[in-house]
């Protein structure tokens, strides 16, 4: 007493029966997939899945302006660029760009331009030391890298400019990585 197969009707392709022509539920069947696809496309256009222009954020205090341009949302395995600009409004004897290790977790960097005079990992922070800056001078640091395929989720941290050990300006940063 299993399910009976519908009778084959002459002139119709295999698998198509009269019930396909009766109109029951057809509008909903056609509308729902299009609505779901439209919602996904709209979310993508609004940048929910990454691919939008990198935001530029600035912090200014203690005679230094720190500007960080970095992506907020990426997909696993993608290439990324982080641009850090320090504008010295007063002399900075030993400028150090400090980046939280928590922000850089599972990111691989191929280059840091310009090369720091010293780079070290100290107390959970990547420290990039550069030469002295006079008032009005600018230091631009560019990091090029890639998101490791194992990273999915969020990396939070901060980027700071120090004068030796004294914090001049700090800016929080966040990276969301989608699969």
Instruction: Give me the pLDDT at residue 106, please.
Output: 92
Q: What is the mean pLDDT of the chain?
A: 86
Express the helix, strand and coil content of the chain in percent, nearest 5 each: 15, 45, 35
- Give phi and psi for 18, each to the nearest 5: -65, -30
The DSSP 8-state label assigned to residue 72 in this structure reads: S
* 112 bridge partner residues: 143
pLDDT digits (tens, 9 = 90+) for 127-143: 999 999 999 999 999 99
Q: Which residues partner with 100 through β-bridges?
A: 125
Indicate whether 76 pLDDT > 90. Answer: no
Q: Sketch out the chain's domains with CATH numbers.
A: 8-46 (no CATH), 56-178 (2.60.40.690)
């Amino acid at each position: 007493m299993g399910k009976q197969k519908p009778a084959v009707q002459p002139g119709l392709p295999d698998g198509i029966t009269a019930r396909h022509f009766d109109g029951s539920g057809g509008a909903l069947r056609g509308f729902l997939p299009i609505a779901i696809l439209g919602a996904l496309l709209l979310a993508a256009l609004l940048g929910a899945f990454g691919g939008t222009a990198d935001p530029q954020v600035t912090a200014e205090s203690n005679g230094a302006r720190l500007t960080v341009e970095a992506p907020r949302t990426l997909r696993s395995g993608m290439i990324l660029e982080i641009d850090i600009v320090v504008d010295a409004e007063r002399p900075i004897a030993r400028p150090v760009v400090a980046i939280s290790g928590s922000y850089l977790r599972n990111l691989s960097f191929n280059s840091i331009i310009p090369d720091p005079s010293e780079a070290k990992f100290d107390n959970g922070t990547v420290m990039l030391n550069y030469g002295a800056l006079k008032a009005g001078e600018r230091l631009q640091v560019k990091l090029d890298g890639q998101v490791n395929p194992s990273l999915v989720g969020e990396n939070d941290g901060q980027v700071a400019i120090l004068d030796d050990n004294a914090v001049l300006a700090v800016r929080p940063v966040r990276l969301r990585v989608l699969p």
